């Protein structure tokens, strides 16, 4: 039995069984990570998931996985989503919400969950609130990571991602042990199309326009916890744990 998290059921949805031995918990962690592209949400999600044994549920991962499907397997909606993603634009809410509804089983997980990259707009957040209420599930907190824009752009341009397992590295702050190879699975590291300079610009604009209003939405719901994302991932992680303990 896989003692680590099993994200296959999230990535593939229909037909994929989860092998996570989800131990029922009195208070399963149910968290959302917010923050601009490049703020380091993915790295914090990995660290939190390893500690809490919950799954990192990333909508970006689902779209990236869909890229490797052959054209006949891709629905028109997925093709539209991939087109948006390539240029750094947000995928339309309806497509994202369909994908989330197909994966409600992951939200019900008795071990909890960690949403990374969803919700990204207020309508997505409202739909999630409704879905969780229908399922009688309660969010624990929304962690909002913050960092100045200039540092964000530097982080994104140096980011390298494993083509196979999606692990994230950085040319200077988190280099792999072997150049261009993933430390975890040996897969080839590359720069995501949406980490190219033009796409980064579009993504930042999308963040300011669509995702920043979420901060107010979750503050109003009393769930927002703001964390500085300056410094090494380990320091940011310590701040995260301190916030969660509090």
List interacting residues with ligand AMP (CB under 6 A): 37, 58-60, 63, 84-85, 88-91, 96, 117-120, 124, 194, 203
- Which residue, 22 or 88, is less far from ligand AMP as judged by CB? 88
Catalytic entry in 30, 53, 103, 120: 120
Whether 239 sits among the annotated catalytic residues: the reply is: no
What is the closest distance, in whole angstroms, from the C-beta atom of residue 245 to ligand AMP in the complex? Answer: 27
What is the closest distance, in whole angstroms, from the C-beta atom of residue 97 to ligand AMP in the complex? Answer: 9
- CA nearest 233: which of 166, 170, 153? 170
- Which residue, 19 or 93, is less far from ligand AMP as judged by CB? 93
- CA nearest 134: which of 110, 111, 107, 114? 107
Whether 12 sits among the annotated catalytic residues: the reply is: no
What is the closest distance, in whole angstroms, from the C-beta atom of residue 86 to ligand AMP in the complex? Answer: 8
What is the closest distance, in whole angstroms, from the C-beta atom of residue 91 to ligand AMP in the complex? Answer: 4
- CA nearest 234: which of 51, 28, 37? 51
Residue 121 in tokens: 């707009």
- Name the closest residue to ligand AMP (Cβ): 60
Q: Which residue blocks in the chain are alpha helix, DSSP H?
A: 8-12, 41-52, 59-67, 76-86, 93-101, 104-107, 122-134, 149-157, 197-206, 213-220, 233-245
Catalytic entry in 30, 41, 103, 239: 41
Whether 203 sits among the annotated catalytic residues: the reply is: yes
Q: Which residues are catalytic?
A: 41, 120, 159, 192, 203
């Amino acid at each position: 039995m896989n003692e680590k998290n099993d994200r296959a059921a999230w990535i593939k949805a229909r037909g994929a069984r989860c092998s996570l031995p989800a131990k029922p918990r009195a208070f399963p962690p149910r968290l959302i990570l917010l923050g601009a592209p490049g703020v380091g949400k993915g790295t914090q999600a990995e660290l939190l998931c390893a500690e809490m044994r919950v799954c990192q549920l990333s909508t970006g991962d689902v779209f990236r996985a869909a890229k490797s499907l052959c054209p006949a397997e891709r629905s028109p909606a997925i093709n539209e989503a991939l087109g948006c993603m390539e240029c750094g634009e947000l995928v339309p809410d309806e497509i994202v919400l369909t994908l989330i509804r197909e994966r409600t089983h992951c939200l019900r997980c008795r071990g909890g969950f960690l949403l990374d990259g969803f919700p990204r707009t207020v309508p997505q957040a409202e739909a999630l609130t409704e879905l969780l209420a229908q399922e009688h599930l309660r969010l624990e907190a929304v962690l909002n990571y913050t960092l100045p824009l200039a540092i964000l752009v530097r982080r994104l341009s140096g980011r390298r991602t494993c083509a196979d397992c999606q692990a994230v590295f950085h040319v200077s702050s988190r280099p792999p042990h072997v150049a261009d190879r993933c430390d975890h699975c040996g897969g080839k590291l590359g720069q995501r199309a949406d980490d190219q300079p033009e796409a980064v610009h579009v993504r930042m604009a999308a963040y300011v326009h669509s995702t920043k209003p979420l901060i107010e939405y979750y503050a109003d719901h009393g769930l927002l916890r703001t964390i500085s994302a300056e410094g090494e991932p380990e320091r940011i992680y310590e701040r995260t744990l301190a916030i969660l303990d509090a």
